[in-house]
Amino acid sequence: MLVLVAPGQGAQTPGFLNPWLELPGVADRLGAWSETAGLDLVHYGTAADAEEIRDTAVAQPLLVTGALLSAAALFDDDPAGPAASVGAVAGHSVGELPAAAIAGVLTDLETVALVRQRATAMAEAAAVTETGMSAVLGGDPDEVAAHLAELGLTAANNNGGGQIVAAGTLEQLAALAADKPAKARVVALKVAGAFHTVHMAPAVDAMRTAAKGLNPADPGIRFVSNADGEVVADGQEIVRRLVTQVSNPVRWDLCVETFQRLGITALIELCPGGTLAGLAKRNLPGVERVAIKSPNDLDAARELIAAHRTASAPPAEAAE
């Protein structure tokens, strides 16, 4: 069974959209999405430096753009689209938005409009207090969790394989760097706030308002949720989870457990790929992987699809 995943914030790199603009129709599509996002996505995806695209209000629309563009290119020659070959979709944090679009819950334009509101609201929430995130690599999971709690930090992401992302104020993160959990390394992440914590609570109301006008469809592909790793078959419920996700932890470890339960044999990470495919190398041994970074990776991804093609079961059935 093939799983298609979309990366989250921090995966973006300067110029990563450059090669995609060489594909037919991409410039026009980016132009339309730029109007919806209120951002010059071509500029930020081709010419902006690392600091410019670190800005939450920029990074999130860029990541959604990369995932949607690469998915469209990947299935461009398949009249049945991803539903004919993808057994499940998931995204890490903001990656859940393009995953929902690929599953048919939202249109591309609805997704771009929603990520604009998400990114703006989270950037505003992050500006209230100086906060950030650090990866904690290794150590005993229970001891790490207890240590974070003592410092007032939140385990905002549990990525499995001994990787937990701590989030909180810069002072709390500095205390973590100075007093690491036993047998663990701490790596500061290039993000602009304590995402998926109470610091993002103001963004939830903004997201709820933005989602009011949506009329989501039920997914045509199994959608695996960050909240608890469960397969969600109701489009309204998926949107509700997208709204509350901004202030709740990402349980990627539970998503991985669901992939295993569903019988995953292959994983493709959409552009800008690498992070989730790297986690899969550790957490899903024996599963074939392709990380799409540029159009040069599309042929390898299509070969993987051909080798692992599985018609996805109806989402309601998959959730039973």
Q: Among residues 93, 134, 225, 312, which one is catalytic? A: 93
d(CA 257, CA 141): 16
Q: Is 196 a catalytic residue?
A: yes
**What torsion, rounded to 10 degrees, do the Cα atoms 181, 184, 188, 194 define?**
-50
Angle subtended by helix axes 235-244 and 201-211, to nearest 10: 150
d(CA 112, CA 97): 9
Q: Among residues 34, 134, 147, 196, which one is catalytic? A: 196
| Contact (CB, 8 A) for 43 and 61 | no
Output the DSSP codes for 254-293: HHHHHHHHHT--EEEEPSS-SHHHHHHHHHSTT-EEEE-S
d(CA 218, CA 235): 4
d(CA 84, CA 78): 9
| Contact (CB, 8 A) for 257 and 229 | yes
> What is the chain's Cα-based Rg?
18
Q: Is 312 a catalytic residue?
A: no
d(CA 105, CA 83): 12
Tokens 């470890």 belong to: 253
Output the DSSP codes for 178-196: HSPPTTEEEEE-S-SS-TT
Angle subtended by helix axes 26-37 and 56-74, to nearest 10: 150
Provide the annotated active-site residues: 93, 196
